Structure 1
Amino acid sequence: MEKKYWVPALEKANDVLQAIAQQPSGLKLIDLSKRLAIHKSSMFSLLNTMEALEWVVRENDGTYSLGSRLGYIGNAFFKQFSLIDRFRKEASITKHIIKETIQLAKLEGREVLYLAKEEMPSPVRLASEPGIKFPAHATALGKVMLAFQDRAELDALYTSGELEPRLTPHTLQSREELYRQLAEVRANGCAYDLQEAVMGFSCVAAPVRDADGKVIAAISCSMFQHEWEEKRELAKEEICALAKRLSQNPQ
């Protein structure tokens, strides 16, 4: 990114928020100062300002957590997607048919950004919380959205022949392998993640289109590997049907 007009103070504030988000109520001023290599006096000023803005909260033990203002901003971000409301309504029905959690996401560069999910009770909670990002090449959601990008757009995203990061032994390793799978996705209308993002879980995803037929998001269903063999076809059928109901121009 061009840094000609970069504001270092904002970058430092962003680094502080990221650190606190990773360890809420776990870091004190001195911890943040050492971790981010920011002088204690500068860190004090940053935290004092961010606390006044309600970006962070100083707990009684001197540690910091994220503030209510960030929650408000986060909610405003997700509310701008009317698709989320429709997803919650429709997916709440589909999840009881498949008896598995369903996720909604959009593509941001080479990553998948999770927007919402309809969750079924499970002893294991999926890491696909709204706001979380995963590498697109390692997820069914990512592959089903990448499949409908122009070749020029794909080449601009994946300039190297090797794919990183590799999340499991099954994660795709090469651009050639990814492009081959994307061709299959375009032909089949859905994508699979076979223990490529998380060991022990498989997933199927389908695209959501706008009124012009452009893929703007995707939905998926993830489940334990031992359930995958039994429910794979049902999951594919229901996820594809749900994607069409959410699409303004189902092709």
Structure 2
Amino acid sequence: MEKKYWVPALEKANDVLLTISEQPSGLKLIDISKRLGINKSSMFSLLNTMEELDWVVRESDGTYSLGSKLGYIGNAFFKQFSLIDRFRKEASVTKHVIQETIQLAKLEQHEVLYLAKEEMPSPVRLASEPGKKLPAHSTALGKAMLAWLDEAELKALFQSEELEPCLTPLTLRSRDALLAQLQVVRENGYAFDLQEAVMGFCCVAAPVRGSSGEVVAAISCSMFQHEWEQKRELAISEICALAKRLSHV
């Protein structure tokens, strides 16, 4: 079966990394070339590039081991699960205080990816299962993370003045409107979604920060619109406090 949009060079780099990982500091260029059936010239280019990127290290005896950049990426991979574990522990308390479902998500380009949620019993189940994505501009979670990007990054993500898709009649429709709202988010430290993702539901979200102060995720709680005015201040307070507890700052 043909692999559409496949990049052979990336597949080769992946094979090289797996081969080195099986025998670190044990294989030279010629060894890797023979094992993978890649000619020496191509292998030299691959390894040289990967060395420049700190993906691999060439030892003094000409053998190769994995580089520090892979350690950084691997650490980031496992830290996200640490965050989910901490979220489940902390949010299980917060959800009972607010009596609403709490959600955790991260930003992926112009979308939010839901990672976990602590759910309260409700006649309506929120469509925020782990693995689901929604447009960032339509959610409080998305705005809580987008607000900390610089203007150049935002304009790269939203290249058109018109925002799409529009999930409800209240979804933000222009980039200028989004940028103006993100300024308010930066000033307040939290974001709202007022029936912009799902009609009948309102939401507040706050950013979760890493050890260097960078925004790594966001948390939110959603509720029926008719409960919003009654619980709004409590939700803001509890979500901001939860975000602070989950942050490494």
The SS at the match of 1:166 is coil
3-state SS of paired residue (1:81): helix
Q: Name the residue aligned to 1:209.
A: 209
Q: What is residue 168 of structure 2 aligned with on the other side? A: 168
Deviation sequence 1:179-223 (CA, Å, 0-9, x none): 000000000000000000000000000000001000000000000
1:124 is aligned to 124
Distance in 1, Cα, partners of 2:221 & 2:6: 43
Name 2:195's counterpart in structure 1.
195
Paired residue type of 1:108 = E
Question: What residue in structure 1 maps to residue 178 of structure 2?
Answer: 178
Change (3 A) 1:78 1:223: farther
Moved over 6 A (4+): none
Paired position in structure 2 for 1:247: 247
Q: CA deviation at 1:144?
A: 0.6
**Counterpart Cα distance in 2 of 1:117 and 1:79:** 17
2:209 is matched by which residue type in structure 1?
R
How many Å separate the matches in 1 of 2:182 and 2:8?
Answer: 37
Change in Cα spacing, 1:230 to 1:161, as seen in structure 2 (3 Å) is same
CA contact (8 A) 1:78 1:115 kept: no
Residue 228 of structure 1 is matched in structure 2 by: 228
Unpaired segments of 5 or more residues in structure 2? 10-76
TM-fit CA distance, 1:81: 2.1
Q: How does 1:22-101 map to 2 (within 5 A)?
A: 80-101=80-101
Counterpart CA distance in 1 for 2:146 and 2:243 is 16
Deviation digits for residues 136-173 of structure 1 (CA, Å, limit 9, x no counterpart): 00000000100001111111101100000000000000
What is the alpha-carbon distance in structure 1 between the residues aligned to residue 7 and residue 145 of structure 2?
33
Identity fraction in percent: 75
Partner Cα separation in structure 1 for residue 118 and residue 78 of structure 2: 15
- Structure 1 residue runs without a partner (length 5+): 8-76
Shift, 1:5, TM fit? 2.7
Amino acid of the residue matched to residue 83 of structure 2?
A: L
- How many residue pairs get matched? 179
Opposite residue 235 of structure 1, the aligned amino acid is A
TM-score (norm 2): 0.69
CA separation in 1, counterparts of 2:8 and 2:199? 40
Aligned to 1:62: none
